[in-house]
Protein backbone atom coordinates (compact mmCIF):
# COMPACT_ATOMS: atom_id res chain seq x y z
CA UNK A 1 0.00 0.00 0.00
CA UNK A 2 1.36 3.40 -0.98
CA UNK A 3 0.09 6.72 0.30
CA UNK A 4 -0.62 9.33 -2.34
CA UNK A 5 1.36 12.35 -1.14
CA UNK A 6 -1.34 14.74 -2.44
CA UNK A 7 -4.08 13.25 -0.25
CA UNK A 8 -4.57 11.14 2.83
CA UNK A 9 -5.87 8.18 0.84
CA UNK A 10 -3.70 5.18 0.08
CA UNK A 11 -3.60 3.36 -3.22
CA UNK A 12 -3.38 -0.37 -2.69
CA UNK A 13 -2.32 -3.01 -5.19
CA UNK A 14 -3.27 -6.61 -4.49
CA UNK A 15 -3.15 -9.84 -6.50
CA UNK A 16 -6.49 -11.62 -5.92
CA UNK A 17 -5.50 -14.48 -8.26
CA UNK A 18 -2.62 -15.68 -10.44
CA UNK A 19 -4.14 -13.83 -13.40
CA UNK A 20 -5.31 -10.59 -11.75
CA UNK A 21 -4.19 -7.51 -9.95
CA UNK A 22 -6.39 -4.88 -8.33
CA UNK A 23 -5.69 -1.23 -7.56
CA UNK A 24 -7.99 0.59 -5.17
CA UNK A 25 -8.43 3.98 -3.54
CA UNK A 26 -11.11 5.98 -1.72
CA UNK A 27 -12.03 9.45 -3.01
CA UNK A 28 -13.80 12.14 -0.96
CA UNK A 29 -16.21 12.74 -3.84
CA UNK A 30 -19.68 11.41 -4.69
CA UNK A 31 -19.95 8.32 -6.86
CA UNK A 32 -21.58 10.28 -9.71
CA UNK A 33 -18.54 12.56 -10.05
CA UNK A 34 -16.10 9.65 -10.02
CA UNK A 35 -18.27 7.84 -12.60
CA UNK A 36 -18.15 10.93 -14.85
CA UNK A 37 -14.35 10.85 -14.64
CA UNK A 38 -14.46 7.56 -16.57
CA UNK A 39 -17.38 8.29 -18.90
CA UNK A 40 -17.37 12.02 -19.78
CA UNK A 41 -14.79 13.05 -22.41
CA UNK A 42 -14.58 16.61 -21.05
CA UNK A 43 -13.57 15.25 -17.65
CA UNK A 44 -11.31 12.44 -18.95
CA UNK A 45 -9.08 14.74 -20.97
CA UNK A 46 -8.41 16.85 -17.86
CA UNK A 47 -6.91 14.06 -15.75
CA UNK A 48 -5.94 11.10 -17.94
CA UNK A 49 -2.49 12.35 -18.91
CA UNK A 50 -0.41 14.88 -20.78
CA UNK A 51 -2.50 16.65 -23.42
CA UNK A 52 -4.93 13.76 -23.71
CA UNK A 53 -7.33 13.74 -26.61
CA UNK A 54 -10.40 11.54 -26.63
CA UNK A 55 -10.54 10.09 -30.14
CA UNK A 56 -13.52 7.87 -29.42
CA UNK A 57 -15.80 7.28 -26.43
CA UNK A 58 -19.02 5.32 -26.86
CA UNK A 59 -20.00 4.22 -23.34
CA UNK A 60 -22.35 1.30 -23.99
CA UNK A 61 -21.90 -2.46 -24.28
CA UNK A 62 -20.26 -2.99 -27.67
CA UNK A 63 -19.03 0.62 -27.77
CA UNK A 64 -15.38 1.53 -27.64
CA UNK A 65 -12.87 4.11 -26.57
CA UNK A 66 -9.46 5.47 -27.58
CA UNK A 67 -7.41 8.10 -25.74
CA UNK A 68 -4.13 9.58 -27.01
CA UNK A 69 -1.61 11.24 -24.69
CA UNK A 70 1.06 13.64 -25.96
CA UNK A 71 -0.43 13.67 -29.49
CA UNK A 72 1.93 14.64 -32.29
CA UNK A 73 5.09 14.26 -30.18
CA UNK A 74 7.76 11.59 -29.89
CA UNK A 75 6.16 10.65 -26.53
CA UNK A 76 2.72 9.95 -28.03
CA UNK A 77 0.94 6.92 -26.61
CA UNK A 78 -2.54 5.58 -27.15
CA UNK A 79 -4.80 3.37 -25.05
CA UNK A 80 -7.99 1.82 -26.36
CA UNK A 81 -10.59 -0.81 -25.68
CA UNK A 82 -14.19 -1.95 -25.95
CA UNK A 83 -16.95 -1.75 -23.36
CA UNK A 84 -18.30 -5.17 -22.39
CA UNK A 85 -20.62 -4.09 -19.55
CA UNK A 86 -21.88 -0.64 -18.51
CA UNK A 87 -23.90 -0.34 -15.27
CA UNK A 88 -24.06 3.32 -14.14
CA UNK A 89 -22.90 4.53 -11.72
CA UNK A 90 -20.99 1.64 -10.24
CA UNK A 91 -19.55 -0.80 -12.81
CA UNK A 92 -17.73 -0.75 -16.14
CA UNK A 93 -16.14 -3.80 -17.72
CA UNK A 94 -13.86 -3.08 -20.65
CA UNK A 95 -10.87 -4.29 -22.55
CA UNK A 96 -7.75 -2.18 -22.13
CA UNK A 97 -4.68 -2.10 -24.31
CA UNK A 98 -1.75 0.23 -24.82
CA UNK A 99 -1.16 0.34 -28.55
CA UNK A 100 2.19 -1.26 -29.40
CA UNK A 101 2.52 -2.83 -25.94
CA UNK A 102 1.29 -6.40 -25.66
CA UNK A 103 -2.20 -7.85 -25.80
CA UNK A 104 -5.27 -6.11 -24.36
CA UNK A 105 -6.60 -7.38 -21.05
CA UNK A 106 -9.96 -7.08 -19.29
CA UNK A 107 -10.57 -4.43 -16.63
CA UNK A 108 -13.46 -4.33 -14.21
CA UNK A 109 -13.95 -0.84 -12.78
CA UNK A 110 -16.11 -0.83 -9.66
CA UNK A 111 -17.32 2.17 -7.66
CA UNK A 112 -18.84 1.83 -4.20
CA UNK A 113 -20.38 4.53 -2.02
CA UNK A 114 -18.40 4.93 1.20
CA UNK A 115 -20.10 7.57 3.33
CA UNK A 116 -20.01 10.76 1.26
CA UNK A 117 -17.13 9.37 -0.80
CA UNK A 118 -16.41 6.60 -3.27
CA UNK A 119 -14.18 3.53 -3.26
CA UNK A 120 -12.79 2.99 -6.76
CA UNK A 121 -11.23 -0.34 -7.64
CA UNK A 122 -9.92 -1.59 -10.94
CA UNK A 123 -9.31 -5.31 -11.36
CA UNK A 124 -7.20 -6.22 -14.39
CA UNK A 125 -7.35 -9.81 -15.66
CA UNK A 126 -4.72 -11.30 -17.97
CA UNK A 127 -4.29 -14.55 -19.89
CA UNK A 128 -1.10 -15.49 -18.03
CA UNK A 129 0.65 -14.72 -14.75
CA UNK A 130 3.64 -13.48 -16.75
CA UNK A 131 1.49 -10.86 -18.52
CA UNK A 132 0.04 -9.73 -15.18
CA UNK A 133 3.44 -9.51 -13.52
CA UNK A 134 4.87 -7.64 -16.51
CA UNK A 135 2.31 -4.84 -16.08
CA UNK A 136 2.69 -4.80 -12.29
CA UNK A 137 6.49 -4.59 -12.61
CA UNK A 138 6.20 -1.91 -15.32
CA UNK A 139 4.64 0.39 -12.73
CA UNK A 140 0.89 -0.22 -12.44
CA UNK A 141 0.75 1.03 -8.85
CA UNK A 142 2.72 4.21 -9.59
CA UNK A 143 0.55 4.79 -12.65
CA UNK A 144 -2.59 4.56 -10.51
CA UNK A 145 -1.11 6.92 -7.93
CA UNK A 146 -0.23 9.52 -10.56
CA UNK A 147 -3.50 9.30 -12.47
CA UNK A 148 -5.68 9.23 -9.39
CA UNK A 149 -3.78 12.17 -7.85
CA UNK A 150 -4.64 14.20 -10.97
CA UNK A 151 -8.23 12.95 -10.79
CA UNK A 152 -8.56 13.89 -7.11
CA UNK A 153 -7.17 17.39 -7.75
CA UNK A 154 -9.59 17.86 -10.67
CA UNK A 155 -12.59 16.68 -8.64
CA UNK A 156 -11.64 19.11 -5.86
CA UNK A 157 -11.47 21.99 -8.37
CA UNK A 158 -14.83 21.03 -9.89
CA UNK A 159 -16.46 20.77 -6.45
CA UNK A 160 -15.15 24.23 -5.51
CA UNK A 161 -16.40 25.86 -8.74
For the stretch 83-97, pLDDT in tens is 999 999 999 999 999
Q: Please choose, from the candidates 151, 136, 135, 152, the residue with its C-alpha nearest in 3D space to the C-alpha of residue 12.
A: 136
3-state SS class at 32 = helix
For the four alpha carbons of 153, 70, 80 and 107, in that order, the dihedral sign comes to: negative
pLDDT at 1: 42
Task: Compute CA 130 distance to the chain's CA centroid, rounded to the nearest angstrom.
Answer: 21
Who wins on pLDDT, 77 or 61?
61
Tell me 159's DSSP state.
Answer: H
Cβ(95)–Cβ(81) below 8 Å: yes
- pLDDT tens for 109-128 read 999 999 999 999 999 999 99
Interval 11-65: pLDDT, tens: 999 999 999 999 999 999 999 999 999 999 999 999 997 789 999 999 999 999 9
DSSP 54-75: EEEE--STT-EEEEEESTTSTT
How do residues 130-146 score in pLDDT, each as one tens digit?
A: 999 999 998 888 888 99
pLDDT of residue 7: 47
What is the per-residue pLDDT for 2? 42
How sure is the predictor about 8, in pLDDT bands with cuts at 50, 70 and 90?
low
Q: Where are the alpha helices (DSSP H) in the chain?
A: 31-39, 41-47, 129-160
Query: Does the pTM of the predicted model rise above 0.85?
Result: yes
Going along the chain from its start, the domains and CATH numbers come out as 2-49+83-95+103-160 (3.30.530.20)
Q: Is the distance from CB of 120 to CB of 102 less than 8 angstroms?
A: no
Amino acid sequence: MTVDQQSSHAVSLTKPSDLEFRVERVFDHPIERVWAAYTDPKVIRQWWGQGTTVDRLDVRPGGGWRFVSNPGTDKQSAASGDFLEVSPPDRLVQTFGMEGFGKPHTQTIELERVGAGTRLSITSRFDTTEERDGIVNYGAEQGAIGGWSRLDALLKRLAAA
